[in-house]
Amino acid sequence: MSSKPKFQVLGAALSTTTWDGSPVTISPPDGVTMPQTTNGSMVLAYQNNATMNNNGKLALTSGGSQPIFLSVQALLMQPSILVQNWGANNLNITNISPAAATPIWLEAFGPGLPGQKPVPLPIGTPIKLSPTAVAQGNSSPNWMQLILTSNTSNLTVLSIIGGPEISGSNAYVIALNSSFGNTGPGTGNPAPQGYYATAGGNSYSLEFNWSSSAVYVANMSPSTAAQATVQMISL
């Protein structure tokens, strides 16, 4: 009689059915499922760990939504990120890369997610964040300034989560030393897709008044980037 049919279902959780966002590496055709996402912005980071020149691909599904396909560049030593609010729905991520030797690292970043140990982000004292390190602190109920600085010309990418939702998002992805130059609010230039703002220079200042709110900062820079300096000031 015929052999057992072989097929692959997008979003099928073949390796981890209760993914909590901790770092995990999946090879095709494995996937992970987060049973319930946060009901606010979450940063999904992914990186191609293939040693060969293998471009990769992920498929994302949530609820009954159409799959989203993410290309995962080969040989890139920088997390790619997708910031989204999946509204407490489930999230399935499947490695559908055509080449078998395409392991892809995944991690979900956001306040309270496992797998991360945020360092304290005090008011008034600058801290250093290495790539993939995170920090979290509480703002004062007044105007605040968050200063992001890199003392190099290295591309530096930081994700900030906190404050009220605006159009369903309360995350801000900001790049320093960006080849896009100065973009985002106040510059007259739209920010590239996925970013809130970019700076052609090595510093950016985010002013906000979110009352007393937890402020979460994750360094999503390339692995060879220098540390970023983050300072929260009460104005």
Partner 1 sequence: MSEPIFAYIAADSAWNGAPTVLGQSQGVTMPQTPNGSLVLGYFNRSTQNNAGRLMVTSGGSVPLPLNVPALARAISIYLNNWGANNLNVTNVSVNTDTPIMVEAFGPGIPGAQPMPLAAGTPVQLALGQAAQGTTPPSWILLSLTSNSATSETLAVIGGPQDATGNNAYVIGLNADADTGPPPQNPPPPGYYATRTGNTYSLQFNWSAVSIYVANLSSQTAKPVTVLLQSL
Residue ranges binding partner 1 (CB under 8 A)? 50-56, 73-78, 97-102, 152-156, 177, 179, 221-225
Distances (CA, A) of 90 to 38, 65, 72: 9, 11, 22
CB of 24: closest distance to partner 1 in angstroms? 21
3-state secondary structure of 59: strand
CB of 100: closest distance to partner 1 in angstroms? 6
The whole-angstrom separation of Cα 105 and Cα 47 is: 5
Which residue's CB is nearer to partner 1, number 84 or number 177? 177
Which residue's CB is nearer to partner 1, number 206 or number 228? 228
Length in residues, the chain: 235
The whole-angstrom separation of Cα 80 and Cα 134 is: 16
CB of 55: closest distance to partner 1 in angstroms? 5
CB of 166: closest distance to partner 1 in angstroms? 28
Which residue's CB is nearer to partner 1, number 47 or number 213? 47
Task: Write the CB contacts of 188 (distance below 8 Å, at least 6 apart in sequence).
Answer: none
Which residue's CB is nearer to partner 1, number 169 or number 203? 203
CB count in 10 Å sphere of residue 179: 9
